[in-house]
Amino acid sequence: MPSERIRERNTSQTEIVMAYAQHVRPGGLAIIPYPTQAFAQEAEMSFFEYKDFVGKACFLDRKDPIEEWKKLSKEQERIIEKLDKVESMRFIGYDTDLELLVKGRKWINADGHINMPDGEIFTSPVECSAEGTIRFTYPGIYSSKEIEDITLTFERGKVTKARAEKGEDLLTQLLKTDEGTARIGEIAFGTNKNITRFTKNILFDEKMGNCIHLALGRGFPMAGGENFSNIHLDLLKDMKSGEVYADGELIYKNGEFLIQK
């Protein structure tokens, strides 16, 4: 489908998107994976390899999967106790120096009550606050099309420059979808160390350990987000050689939280 047609389709789905957004909360709508040959092929795995991957992503390889999810939930809640008091954050990495505000926003403990697999900590930053540049490690996937090597520059919370090695035309069209598309709807840390490879399925990829992801477009009301858009485009960055500062304090380095127990 041409990029222009994709943008037109997005702008026609406002009512559907609003209805969906109302149910994305703990105890609301849940998404659960089921291994298929098509997903395996997209992830460049054999079907049996992919089934094993899905099981591990859900902690089914552990002796007591339920206990493992409870353990992850407790650890994430400990980190959130710190992040909920933070006003500003700075992300530094390869071709990246991005600052934004999270004051007054709630961090969400994604521990298996919304999606499965899960394993992330996320919030919606203050919509007009992002300043700086970020370059993403992995392709953005939209309507089965890949946008590779994306670099975004923000001023006063809005994308002012967008570049991609491949699929730049699609990225440009997506940014024109509506007023909210060029702003950040989500910033998040992936925490699921059992997800170790990019599969082109965002349900898994955004949870990948040692990574952060940023979403352009629709924010989360349950986190205090006020940005509305017909799209929510997740973009992933490997942080194995990156740093994150909270109110000037180094809290995350080389893919690991440094917050003391």
Give strand pairing partners of 93.
96
Whole-number pLDDT of residue 33: 79
- pLDDT-flagged residues of the chain (< 70): 1-30, 261
Q: Count CA atoms within 13 Å of residue 167 on its CB side.
A: 19
**pTM above the 0.95 mark?**
no
The pLDDT of residue 34 is 85
Q: Note the pLDDT of residue 144.
A: 82
- Closest by CA position to 31, among listed 95, 87, 115: 115
> Biggest alpha carbon distance in the chain?
51
The CA radius of gyration of the chain, in Å to the nearest whole number, is: 18
Closest by CA to 229, choosing from 135, 136, 131, 159, is 159
* pLDDT at res. 17: 47
What's residue 5's pLDDT?
A: 53
Q: Which of 184, 211, 214 is nearest to 198 (CA)?
A: 211
**Contact call for residues 31 and 90 (beta carbons, < 8 A):** no
Block residue for tokens 């902690």: 59
**How confident is the model at residue 143, as a pLDDT?**
81
Question: What is the structure's pLDDT at 7?
Answer: 46
Residue 30 is predicted with a pLDDT of 62
Q: Are 253 and 135 in contact (CB under 8 A)?
A: no
